[in-house]
Structure 1
């Protein structure tokens, strides 16, 4: 029951906000299912990547993905994801969790401040490449998809409306997740650890359903209030993780 509820929340977050999947998934796997940090991060990349990709495929007919931004933002993000995962392989897991907690706090702030921006794209290539690289580095280093940065960036710099920003974010997250997983899987093989594919499969299936439901109801929900509620949840979770990590140093 815990996994089902958690998976639905993860999917709903991705479907409604285009972000928050990994930020919810990693604590669930570490504190709820008692997985190690590296197993949780790797599993999160598979889960969030799968949910994002399923949602993208189902909604391709709506033509909401801005493919120019996928290229300008997504390509440097994928390269940086691999570099971030490589850097993580030389970093203590406690440091990763400390960075993860700080990333969650940043996400809370961004979600609280984000506002809707009107209409179609006005692409800023240099900013897109820079932000894509930043998001990719975070994805690789701490296993987050980076949607909390991608969605506000697409709304602010590319001036995409919320629905297009969410759809484009999910496409970029799915690409980044594949790259990050491939690097982390190499590390797991080297240290002879394996993933729990039953848990990954269950959360991915239920999360995909939750994400599709989230996209259906997103237009009927007050976006600003939803973001603020999510920001509060992130702040509470990040504070808990930060305290736990500092106590274990």
Structure 2
């Protein structure tokens, strides 16, 4: 199964390079079900993989001057602190055994995988709908960022990222467009920078709690980064909107399957 897992690592970056988002949502299921890693350590590794691939992606946007560092700081600082605190203190404090209901045992791993699968469902719906976020017409004259709303959203995303090891781009992008008044391309580039900072800083919290297999992690991340360049090279030949919709349906099916598997199978 490991050979499929390494091949899937390439798919993570490939999807990110083709669609600009979504690939990171595959990382945890690949690590858990193909690489046979514990869900908790898988979410820690996911933060490193997501952070590394997003950092490469954000640099490509930076070269095109499509990253707002001021917005990234306003949104990212509270988010970054929250994800570090969550990974350093909250996740390790969750008991390994939570409850037993007849034949069903709710463990820490089951809880985190169920939360992650729920995030997959919401992310898939965002991709399937292909909603185009934009500043409402009556607000276009006022381009002043809504700083309090950005801070609240930043804390919320940090908590979600810290709990399940995912970037949360489907939450960050609409927040940047609606509350920071960025255009869509600038929001995507800024979102990748925020995801990179959140994920890598959250992973620092995990270094204190777990033994890291750096050889495996760097190999897996390297394949994912390689996938970004392949996906970017192919992106002009493939209709990204249709691809994202199809990928959204795949993520939806996977999310539902994980929920059923963890709770009932």
Partner of 2:176: 154
The two structures have a TM-score, normalised by structure 2, of: 0.81
Cα distance in 1 between the residues matched to 2:236 and 2:255: 28
* 1:196 Cα deviation after fit: 2.9
After TM superposition, the score normalised by the length of structure 1 is 0.86
CA contact (8 A) 1:13 1:211 kept: yes
Correspondences of 1:11-50 after superposition (within 5 Å): 11-50=13-52
Paired residue total: 243
Q: Which structure is larger by alpha-carbon Rg, 1 or 2?
A: 2
1:191 counterpart residue number: none
SS in 2 for 1:202: helix
**Is there any run of 5+ residues in structure 2 with no aligned partner, and where?**
95-107
Corresponding residue number in structure 2 for 1:80 = 82
Return the offset for 1:55: 2.7
- Once the two structures are superposed, residues 32-57 of structure 1 have per-residue CA deviations (whole angstroms, 9 ceiling, x without a partner) of 01000122111111111111122333
CA RMSD of aligned residues (A): 2.5
Kept in 2, the 8 Å contact 1:18–1:167? The answer is no
Q: Is the 8 A contact 1:19 1:146 kept in 2?
A: no
Give the match for residue 56 of structure 1.
58
Instruction: Show structure 1 runs of 5+ residues with no match.
Output: 189-193
Q: Any residues of structure 2 matched to 1:1-249 within 5 Å, and which?
A: 1-85=3-87, 86-91=89-94, 92-117=108-133, 122=143, 123-188=145-210, 194-218=211-235, 221-247=238-264
Decide whether the 8 Å contact of 2:16 with 2:23 is kept in 1: yes
Are the equivalent residues in 2 in contact too, given 1:15–1:214 (CA < 8 A)? yes
- The separation in 1 between residues aligned to 2:237 and 2:154, in whole angstroms, is 30
